[in-house]
Every structure is written in structure tokens, then in C-alpha cells.
């Protein structure tokens, strides 16, 4: 039998899985959010805010959850439940399988501003508010948060929860650092060290401009580093490690 050896042969299945679950949910939630705001505030919202502000504000409130949903459980569930035994006795490398799944998750998350923008354009007739910057923020957020989820996914099925706690911890530490700075007091060494070590989640926000220069490099390198570490673990750490066979 000639074998289909295309490394992309399972891509469509993964894409359809994401479309049936996460993508559909994101479309429905985006439309629902626009509908609820229109129902409560009517045209006042359209008069008071432009579409870009609205999309930015809603992204800021929903992006973290959306990324956790799109990237969560990518590898962790298969490893914990033992599904990996059927999947990876086939001629397919786990690191490649999960990289494709993770990238598709990123594409789905990148469509969120589109659905939000379209929903607001329909509801308020003030355009979609979409810009390259909005997509840049979403992509960088996915790289950082989604990268953390992928990395934890190689170790636990509660990847999304660990990533969320890490995000929360970093945000609170960053808040505290700002308070210390505002009071002109030295930031405690342990806190400063923790902020250096933890992913720089604070540098990317839908409410702030896209990071640039050193901040952008920090985000890109940290995010890419987490993804690379996850792929190395998937490549070299046997999937049955950590428990009895």
C-alpha cells in the first residue's frame, strides 16, 4: 500500500474540530455581546464611542479567556487520558501534530476581532474598527499566553489553569511594581526578579499600543522560547513519562 506521508494530512481534521467548537463559540459570543450592548444602550454607544474603542475594550475583556479556550488541553488531555497511544503509534510526530493544532488555535483567535468588528458594524453601523494593530495585539497575546499554555500542556492537563494563575500572578506583581514606582520606593529584589523571569504579559494589552523596540523583542523571544521549549519536550520527553506504563 502506498502511504500518504504528507505532514499536513491531519490538518483539516484539526481545523474542523476547532471550527465546530471554538470558532463557532467565538462567533456566537461576539454577536451576542454586540446584541446585548445594543439592547441595553441602544444607539448611545454608537454615538459615544468609535468602533475601534469598542472592539479594543471587548477584546481586553475576552481575549485571555478566548486564548485559554483555543490553546487549552492541546497536548495535556491526550497525554493524561492515554489517547496518545492510539494517535502516536501512527506515523506522526507528536511535536508536529501539536504545533499544527496550536497554530490553528492561533488562527481561530485571530478571527475574534473580525467577528467583534462585524457584529458592531451590523449593530451600530460605525465600521468594524479593525486595524493591523488590533491583529498585532491578538497575535502577540496568543504567542505569550498560548505559548505558556502549550508549554504547560506537555506537563499537565490543567495547562489553561496554570497559565491563568501565572498570568494573574504576573499582573498582580506588575501592579505592585507600579505602586512602588509611584511611591518612589525601591521595588523589592525578589519581586523585580520574579517580574524578570515571568512571561511579560503586561507588555501586551488590547487597551495599549502595540509594544515596540525592546519590549516587542522581549515578547517575541519569550513567546517563541516557550513554544520552542514545548516542542522540544514533545520531541524528546517520552509521552508515557511521569507515570506507570
Partner 1 sequence: MIRFAQAGKTYRSLVRRREITALAGLDLEIARGEVVGIAGPNGAGKSTLISLLLGFLAPSEGSVTLEGLAPRRYVERHGVGYLTELVNLPGQWRVQDALHRLAILAGVPAAARRGRVADTMARLGIEEHATKKIKQLSKGNLQRVGLGQALLGEFDLVVLDEPTHGLDPVWTARFRDIVVELRRPDRAILIASHNLDELEMLADRVAILDHGRLQRVVGHATEASDASVSWRLVLEGDDDIGAAMPGAVPIAGRPGSWRVLAPRAAMSRQLAALLQSGAILVECVPEQGRLASAFREAVRQ
C-alpha angle with apex 67: 210 to 51, nearest 5 degrees? 50
Q: Which of 25, 31, 57, 92 binds partner 1 (CB under 8 A)?
A: 92
Q: Smaller CB distance to partner 1: residue 207 or 235?
A: 235
In the complex, the smallest distance separating the C-beta of residue 40 from partner 1, rounded to whole angstroms, is 36
Q: Which of 5, 39, 40, 189 binds partner 1 (CB under 8 A)?
A: 5
Q: Is 218 helix (H, G, I), strand (E, B) or coil?
A: helix
x/- letters, 51..90, toward partner 1 (CB under 8 A): ------------------------------xxxxxxxxxx
Per rule CB under 8 A, count of chain residues that contact partner 1: 27
Neighbour-count burial of 48, counting CB atoms closer than 10 A to its CB (0-12 exposed, 13-18 middle, 19+ buried): exposed
Does 3 sit near partner 1 (CB under 8 A)? yes
Q: Smaller CB distance to partner 1: residue 90 or 196?
A: 90
202, 174 contact by CB (below 8 A): yes
In the complex, the smallest distance separating the C-beta of residue 144 from partner 1, rounded to whole angstroms, is 29
Site for partner 1 in 203-242 (CB under 8 A): 238-241
Q: Smaller CB distance to partner 1: residue 51 or 69?
A: 69
Q: Smaller CB distance to partner 1: residue 190 or 245?
A: 245
C-alpha cell at 206: 488590547
Does 91 sit near partner 1 (CB under 8 A)? yes
Neighbour-count burial of 207, counting CB atoms closer than 10 A to its CB (0-12 exposed, 13-18 middle, 19+ buried): exposed
In the complex, the smallest distance separating the C-beta of residue 75 from partner 1, rounded to whole angstroms, is 14
In the complex, the smallest distance separating the C-beta of residue 18 from partner 1, rounded to whole angstroms, is 14
In the complex, the smallest distance separating the C-beta of residue 107 from partner 1, rounded to whole angstroms, is 20
Within 10 angstroms of residue 80's Cβ, the number of other Cβ atoms is 15
234, 79 contact by CB (below 8 A): no
Give kind and range of the element (H or E) at residue 18.
helix 11-18
In the complex, the smallest distance separating the C-beta of residue 243 from partner 1, rounded to whole angstroms, is 8
Give per-residue burial for 3-38: e unless 16+ CB within 10 Å, then b: eeeeeeebeeebbeebeeebbeebbebbbebbeebb
Using CB under 8 A, list all residues that contact partner 1: 1-5, 9-10, 13, 81-93, 238-241, 244-245
Amino acid at each position: 500500500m502506498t502511504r500518504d506521508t504528507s505532514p499536513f494530512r491531519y490538518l483539516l481534521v484539526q481545523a474542523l474540530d476547532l471550527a465546530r467548537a471554538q470558532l463557532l463559540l467565538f462567533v456566537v459570543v461576539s454577536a451576542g455581546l454586540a446584541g446585548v450592548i445594543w439592547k441595553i444602550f441602544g444607539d448611545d454607544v454608537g454615538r459615544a464611542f468609535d468602533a475601534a474603542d469598542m472592539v479594543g475594550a471587548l477584546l481586553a475583556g475576552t481575549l485571555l479567556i478566548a486564548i485559554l479556550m483555543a490553546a487549552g488541553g492541546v497536548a495535556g488531555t491526550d497525554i493524561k487520558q492515554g489517547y496518545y497511544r492510539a494517535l502516536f503509534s501512527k506515523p506522526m510526530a507528536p511535536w508536529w501534530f501539536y504545533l499544527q493544532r496550536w497554530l490553528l488555535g492561533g488562527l481561530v483567535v485571530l478571527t475574534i476581532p473580525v467577528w467583534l468588528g462585524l457584529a458592531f458594524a451590523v449593530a451600530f453601523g460605525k465600521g468594524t474598527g479593525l486595524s493591523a494593530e488590533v491583529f498585532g495585539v491578538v497575535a502577540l497575546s496568543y504567542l505569550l499566553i498560548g505559548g505558556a499554555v502549550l508549554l504547560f500542556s506537555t506537563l499537565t492537563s490543567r495547562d489553561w489553569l496554570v497559565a491563568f494563575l501565572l498570568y494573574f500572578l504576573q499582573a498582580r506583581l506588575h501592579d505592585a511594581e507600579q505602586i512602588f514606582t509611584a511611591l518612589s520606593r525601591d521595588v523589592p529584589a525578589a519581586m523585580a526578579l520574579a517580574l524578570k523571569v515571568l512571561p511579560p504579559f503586561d507588555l501586551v494589552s488590547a487597551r495599549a499600543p502595540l509594544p515596540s523596540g525592546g519590549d516587542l523583542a522581549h515578547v517575541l523571544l519569550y513567546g517563541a522560547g516557550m513554544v520552542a521549549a514545548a516542542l522540544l519536550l514533545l520531541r524528546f520527553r517520552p509521552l508515557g513519562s511521569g507515570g506507570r506504563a
